[in-house]
Amino acid sequence: MTTARRRPYGVKGAPYAFLLPATILFALFFALPIGYAVYLSFRKVHVSGLGLGSGARKEVWAGLENYTDAVTDNELLDGALRVLGYGCIVVPVMLGLALLFALMLDSDKVRFAPFTRLAIFLPYAIPGVVAALMWGFLYLPDVSPFYYLLQKLHMPQPNLLDGGPLYLAMANIAVWGGTGFNMIVIYTSLQSIPAEVYEAAKLDGATPLQIALKIKIPMVAPSLVLTFFFSIIATLQVFNEPMTLKPLTNSLPLTWSPLMNVYADAFRKGDIYQAASEAVIIALATLVLSFGFLRAANRRQKQEATR
Amino acid sequence: MPNTKRTRLVASTIAVALGATALTACGSSDSDSKTESGPVSLTYWTWTPGMDKVVDLWNKGPGKKAQITVTVKKQASGDSLVTKILTAHKAKKAPDLVQAEYQALPTLVSNDALADISKDLGDTKSKFADGVWQQTTLGTDAVYAVPQDIGPMMFYYRQDLFKKYGLSVPTTWEQFAETARALKKKAPDKDLTTFSANDSGLFAGLAQQAGAKWWTTSGDKWKVGINDAATKKVADFWGGLVKEGAVDNQPMYTPAWNKAIDTGKQIAWVSAVWAPGTLTTAAPQTKGKWAMAPLPQWSAGDNVTGSWGGSSTAVTTDSAHTAAAAKFAAWLNTDGGALQALAKDSGIYPAATNAQTSGAFAQPPAYFSNQSDFYTEAAAIAKTTAPSAWGPNVNVAYTTFNDAFGTAAKNKSDFTAALNTMQDATVADLKKQGFEVSE
């Protein structure tokens, strides 16, 4: 009797017991800090008098002040626009190259496939800061071997650390570092396409190009969506590259990207409250953008399925 | 049974309470008499290289006698340490001793992170120049730190190249501009120096030399004078040179800058007493070819310099052993042996005046072996340092400087506009924090 009563209870409780560690960790290290950041974003410091000595500084309720400041601060919006411009270069070029490389590696004609795959993937293994430092070196006319060659060949030497070319220079670092990872994701899903599909296509007289365009690409569409999704998030959060290149040029302000703005407010100006509100806004924007994209992608897939 | 349990609980509660009272009594008597009994161990956050060796001297010598042991925890330098101290202080866990740059002291004091150690320092004040000491008091009766090193500014130039191009060492800023133009005429691909927007300390020092007072107080109000006449003069001067192309506009401390000063593409550098260390790593090939001279003056016959860099040792409010910590801070920065070791192992230029001419500074730095009176001259220049005026949001002003002057230098546009941006941002930040600001 007792065992009969306890068993269903145990089965019912088991999922919760299994969930518990993850839930506790999630609450402690994810939900709690986020909650604290949101709390901080509604606070500010208030100083009385000269602000020297003890008790001169108090944390007070700020209401929406930090948010209105963040929204009316042109730097945050300008930063978002700059990152948008940067993303418009990075995402298509990187994913285009990743898809191209994946398709090439997947074709029967490629030689040294394992080596090539590794060579394309390798830059992803290099930490972003190191990559940015290395490229920064190569972009500086006075120390770059490329500029030396251009000079010897009497070719024009563009200033890569200023104006429009700066976006290309920065995008180049991201593309160089990110293509390999995205290629692997797409390549893996290409590998999982059953061979019969290709066989049927070949019997129907499809050329390799047709197979690539009409079969392979539609069949890896879910991984393309996934890589696009990751790339959008990575682009919105760009920080390492501009931060590392910053000391090399006057053209990169400390507020170049939204995250740099947050960093400058929190750790250079010491205003964690303002920084928290900006972080919340960026997180919300990222959520809206990425989920918006996912929903749009899902809707299209469903439409295609019903067709 | 339950009765006994309860009795025991009550008994232990009373015991704990009694113990707590005893502890409190102990604590209060301690702070009253300011004498420490029993061994004390202190933690010290610093970025100075080789500080552990200097602290070893204390731990084996005077520290052992006084039963005060100091442990060094190596930190990143400058602003990031300020952030770290403030964060630790929020959790009431800041270390006993910290290294802090002079311009960071008001920020730390305004966050109530630094203890007033005026009562524990004895005659320490007499060991320092007034202008240096004043930075640790913030103009009050309190003392928040003991000065450690200073960075009086000087003019560094390539002796050989100055001769080659027939240039003479400028003694006024007017001559400095002429020298820059003369060099451009003789060698269009060379620059006298660069105006760099990536280190605000340099600009602040130049403004200080011109007599600027960026933060002042009157009553309960702060006054921000970043765009005062003196600073405007400095900004206009450099803005003009950048605009006409007489000096370069690229940032320093980049690989490109290193190469430029190493190969003679830039032949001078407005810097401070610590420049030999930087030049040793940045321009290793031109060792022995550089020379140091006093900073050019705004009017002939003047003899003033600014300061760029320099730091102090402070005791935090979280320390339970303020007196012991202050004792160590005073020893570290005034004791002959300690200063000797600081000069040798850490390569700092001491703030204590008698140490500047001590044995450690009898020989010039190896990089300047050609200038035998380097440190005699440096000590004389250090005496002419203009007073500085720091406020509670130097970090905001400095951050704004980087962006505003970076853009202005890039576009070769009006530096005064950049200066006004800096002033407005600094005032706006003070007001936002609730400081009273007088216009």
Residue B435 to residue A57, Cβ atoms within 8 A: no
The pLDDT of residue B22 = 41
Nearest Cα residue to A241 out of A147, A125, A135: A135
Left if phi > 0, otherwise alpha if psi is -120 to 50, otherwise beta: which for B50?
A: left
For chain A, percent of residues with pLDDT exceeding 90:
48
Give the chain B residue whose CA is nearest to the CA of A54.
B112
**What average pLDDT does the segment B340-353 reach?**
89
Residue A250 to residue B407, Cβ atoms within 8 A: yes
Helix/strand/coil for A111: coil
For chain B, percent of residues with pLDDT exceeding 70:
92
**What average pLDDT does the segment A196-220 reach?**
90
Give the chain B residue whose CA is nearest to the CA of A136.
B255
Tell me the chain A residues in contact with residue B83 when contact means C-beta distances shorter than 8 Å. Answer: 267, 270
What single letter denotes the amino acid at residue B94?
A: A
Min distance A254 CA to chain B CA atoms (Å): 6
Min distance A120 CA to chain B CA atoms (Å): 28
Average pLDDT, rounded, for chain B: 88
* Numbered ranges of CATH 3.40.190.10 in chain B: 38-151+309-361, 152-307+388-433
Residue B260 has its nearest CB partner, among A69, A142, A251, at A142
B311-324 pLDDT, tens digit each: 999 999 999 999 99
Residue B140 to residue A137, Cβ atoms within 8 A: no
- The beta strands (E) that lie in B194-338 are given as 215-218, 221-224, 268-272, 290-294, 307-315
pLDDT at B4 exceeding the cut of 80? no
Tokens representing A293 are 């994209």
Residue B82 to residue A255, Cβ atoms within 8 A: no
Residue B110 to residue A47, Cβ atoms within 8 A: yes
B38-151+309-361: what CATH class? alpha beta
pLDDT at A130 exceeding the cut of 90? yes
B247-272 pLDDT, tens digit each: 999 999 999 999 999 999 999 999 99
- Alpha carbons within 13 angstroms on the beta-carbon side of residue A287 total 6
The pLDDT of residue A268 = 85
Instruction: Using pLDDT thresholds of 50, 70 and 90, give the confidence band for residue A269.
Output: confident
Residue B399 to residue A254, Cβ atoms within 8 A: yes
Please enumerate residues of A whose Cβ is less than 8 A from a Cβ of B.
Answer: 44-57, 69, 137, 140-143, 162, 247-255, 264, 267-271
- Alpha carbons within 13 angstroms on the beta-carbon side of residue B238 total 27
Min distance A255 CA to chain B CA atoms (Å): 8
Q: How many CB pairs under 8 A join A and B?
A: 106
pLDDT at A7 exceeding the cut of 80? no
Residue B399 has its nearest CB partner, among A56, A252, A264, at A264
Which of residues B36 and B141 earns the better pLDDT score?
B141
Min distance A55 CA to chain B CA atoms (Å): 7
B69-112 pLDDT, tens digit each: 999 999 988 778 898 998 899 899 999 999 999 999 998 998 89
Tell me the chain B residues in contact with residue A267 when contact means C-beta distances shorter than 8 Å. Answer: 79-80, 83
B281-308 pLDDT, tens digit each: 999 999 999 999 999 999 999 999 999 9
Min distance B142 CA to chain A CA atoms (Å): 10
Second-level CATH architecture of B152-307+388-433: 3-Layer(aba) Sandwich (3.40)
Tell me the chain B residues in contact with residue A54 when contact means C-beta distances shorter than 8 Å. Answer: 112, 317
Radius of gyration of chain A (CA): 26
What single letter denotes the amino acid at residue B297?
A: Q
**What average pLDDT does the segment A279-285 reach?**
93
Q: CA–CA separation, B109 vs B87, rounded Å?
A: 14
Least confident of A44-53, A197-206, A237-246, B192-201: A44-53
Report which listed range, A189-198, A230-239, B233-242, is most confident: B233-242
Query: Domains along chain A?
Result: 2-61 (no CATH), 73-306 (1.10.3720.10)
Cβ-in-10-Å burial (0-12, 13-18, 19+) of A50 comes to buried
pLDDT at B20 exceeding the cut of 50? no
The pLDDT of residue A75 = 87
Which of residues A197 and A11 earns the better pLDDT score?
A197
Min distance B395 CA to chain A CA atoms (Å): 5
Min distance B144 CA to chain A CA atoms (Å): 10
Buried b (16+ CB within 10 A) or exposed e, B324-350: bbbbbbbbbbbbeebbbbbbebbbbbb
Task: Look up tokens 């590392």; give the residue.
Answer: A244
The pLDDT of residue B71 = 95
Least confident of A108-112, A176-180, B124-128, B267-271: A108-112
The pLDDT of residue B324 = 94
Task: State the SS3 of B218-255.
Answer: ECCEEEECCCCHHHHHHHHHHHHHHHCCCCECCCCCCH
Residue A253 to residue B82, Cβ atoms within 8 A: no
Min distance A193 CA to chain B CA atoms (Å): 49
Instruction: Using pLDDT thresholds of 50, 70 and 90, give the confidence band for residue B30.
Output: very low
Helix/strand/coil for B312: strand
pLDDT at B7 exceeding the cut of 50? no
Torsion sign (Cα): B50, B54, B57, B58? negative
Tell me the chain A residues in contact with residue B259 when contact means C-beta distances shorter than 8 Å. Answer: 142-143
Residue A267 to residue B254, Cβ atoms within 8 A: no
Residues forming beta bridges with residue B149, ordered by sequence position: B311, B350
Report the residue of A268, A271, A273 to disrupt the B interface, i.e. the one with the largest count of B CBs within 10 Å: A268
Tell me the chain A residues in contact with residue B222 when contact means C-beta distances shorter than 8 Å. Answer: 50
**What average pLDDT does the segment A18-44 reach?**
94
Residue A270 to residue B107, Cβ atoms within 8 A: yes
The pLDDT of residue A277 = 96
Whether this prediction's pTM lies above 0.95 is answered by: no
Residue B112 to residue A253, Cβ atoms within 8 A: no
The pLDDT of residue B14 = 45
Tokens representing B112 are 């109530």
Instruction: Using pLDDT thresholds of 50, 70 and 90, give the confidence band for residue A301.
Output: confident
Nearest Cα residue to B418 out of B246, B269, B223, B195: B195
Report the residue of B84, B107, B112, B405 to disrupt the A interface, i.e. the one with the largest count of A CBs within 10 Å: B112
Tokens representing A212 are 């690539």
**What average pLDDT does the segment B158-187 reach?**
96
Helix/strand/coil for B293: strand
Contact (CB, 8 A) for B127 and B353:
yes
Instruction: Using pLDDT thresholds of 50, 70 and 90, give the confidence band for residue A107.
Output: confident
- The beta strands (E) that lie in B40-143 are given as 40-46, 68-74, 97-101
Tell me the chain B residues in contact with residue A269 when contact means C-beta distances shorter than 8 Å. Answer: 393, 395-396, 399, 429
Give the chain A residue whose CA is nearest to the CA of B84.
A267
**What average pLDDT does the segment B8-36 reach?**
43
Min distance A283 CA to chain B CA atoms (Å): 24
Residue B198 DSSP label: S
Helix/strand/coil for B305: strand
Instruction: Using pLDDT thresholds of 50, 70 and 90, give the confidence band for residue A143.
Output: confident
The pLDDT of residue B237 = 97
Task: Look up tokens 């970025």; give the residue.
Answer: B47
Tell me the chain B residues in contact with residue A45 when contact means C-beta distances shorter than 8 Å. Answer: 433-434
Report the residue of A36, A52, A140 to disrupt the B interface, i.e. the one with the largest count of B CBs within 10 Å: A52
**According to DSSP H, which parts of A140-162 are helical?**
145-152
